[in-house]
């Protein structure tokens, strides 16, 4: 049941994170919002509270371990416990390898991989001790197969897939009742394309999203479904995208 669950969401200031926060808060979850843009988080938390929900927020850079630990503390101080984390923060400055955009490669590795690891490290002691917890993460259809132009982005998302599956298996073996859910979205209309600096990649992606993109509310529905499953059941993978996109 979602109601009264305390759920920490990274990358909650726009797109999928914002949509998930609003939906699960409307279903009674107590949400803890993190991202770098504090003004956006405040606005979203205010909207949730005005609609009768419960939300707190704090500036979070997922690449900084101390920030991740601090927002877990905020969740526990505000609501007494933490039940789930939605590891959603991510960047997609895609380009062909021949463009050699090494700074963007590093940035994607830092946010999309290290950010996930930092979030997991921050919740693991709590979830292990309480023998329950739910870890949800966003990979991508680019984490399921290879697409030209997304060598590094895709690599970070393949990492998420492997890591989450091993985490699920180890949790079952260790009897810690830590459940996992990995989401593989296709084209979802958010701010994700804004960080693309390679013009050819930006134009190509924009065409795909213009042709196929659907609302982040669809991904929020899946997050809510996963959170709502009974404690004895793990639905570990969800591939979700526009019905007319042959991803």
Tokens representing 178 are 């830590």
* Beta carbon of residue 114, minimum distance to ligand NAP (angstroms, whole number): 9
Comparing CB distances to ligand NAP, the nearer of 36 and 172 is 36
Catalytic site residue 184? no
Residue 206: CB atoms within 10 Å: 13
Q: Out of 32, 48, 60, 220, point to the residue binding ligand NAP (CB under 6 A).
A: 60
Comparing CB distances to ligand NAP, the nearer of 65 and 172 is 65
Residues ≥6 apart with Cβ < 8 Å to 17 = 9, 10, 11, 33, 35, 86, 88, 89
Interface with ligand NAP, residue 226, by CB under 6 A:
no
Tokens representing 124 are 């693991």
Interface with ligand NAP, residue 82, by CB under 6 A:
no
Nearest Cα residue to 136 out of 158, 168, 111: 168
Residues 92-111 that bind ligand NAP (CB under 6 A): 92, 111
Catalytic residue, from 57, 147, 153, 184: name it. Answer: 153
Comparing CB distances to ligand NAP, the nearer of 8 and 62 is 62
Residues ≥6 apart with Cβ < 8 Å to 29 = 2, 3, 4, 5, 6, 7, 53, 227
* Beta carbon of residue 133, minimum distance to ligand NAP (angstroms, whole number): 20
* Beta carbon of residue 17, minimum distance to ligand NAP (angstroms, whole number): 5
- 70 within 8 A of 45, measured Cβ to Cβ: no
* Beta carbon of residue 197, minimum distance to ligand NAP (angstroms, whole number): 14
Interface with ligand NAP, residue 185, by CB under 6 A:
yes
> Which residues face 22 on adjacent strands?
none
Contact range with ligand NAP by CB under 6 A, out of 31-39, 78-86, 221-229, 230-238: 31-39
Contact range with ligand NAP by CB under 6 A, out of 6-14, 71-79, 197-205, 225-233: 6-14
Q: Out of 33, 45, 75, 91, point to the residue binding ligand NAP (CB under 6 A).
A: 91
Active site residues: 153
Binding residues for ligand NAP, rule: CB under 6 A, are 10-17, 35-37, 40, 60-63, 88-92, 111, 138, 140, 185, 187-188, 190-192, 216
């Amino acid at each position: 049941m979602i109601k009264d669950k305390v759920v920490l969401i990274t990358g909650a200031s726009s797109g999928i994170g914002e949509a998930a926060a609003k939906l699960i808060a409307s279903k009674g979850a107590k949400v803890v919002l993190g991202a770098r843009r504090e003004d956006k988080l405040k606005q979203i938390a205010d909207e949730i509270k005005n609609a009768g929900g419960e939300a707190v927020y704090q500036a979070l850079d997922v690449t900084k371990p101390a920030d991740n630990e601090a927002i877990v503390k905020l969740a526990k101080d505000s609501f007494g416990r933490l039940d789930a984390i939605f590891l959603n923060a991510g960047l997609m400055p895609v380009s062909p390898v021949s463009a050699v955009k090494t700074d963007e490669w590093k940035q994607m590795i830092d946010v999309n991989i290290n950010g996930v690891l930092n979030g997991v490290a921050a919740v693991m002691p709590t979830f292990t001790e309480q023998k329950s917890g739910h870890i949800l993460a966003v990979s991508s259809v680019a984490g399921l197969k290879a697409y030209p132009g997304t060598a590094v982005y895709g690599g970070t998302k393949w990492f998420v897939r492997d890591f989450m599956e091993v985490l699920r298996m180890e949790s079952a073996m260790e009897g810690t009742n830590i459940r996992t859910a990995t989401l593989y979205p296709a084209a979802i209309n958010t701010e994700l394309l804004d960080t693309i600096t390679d013009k050819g990649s930006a134009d190509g992606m924009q065409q795909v999203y213009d042709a196929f993109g659907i609302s982040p509310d669809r991904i929020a529905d899946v997050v809510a479904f996963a959170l709502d499953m009974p404690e004895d059941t793990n639905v570990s993978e969800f591939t979700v995208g526009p019905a007319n996109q042959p991803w």
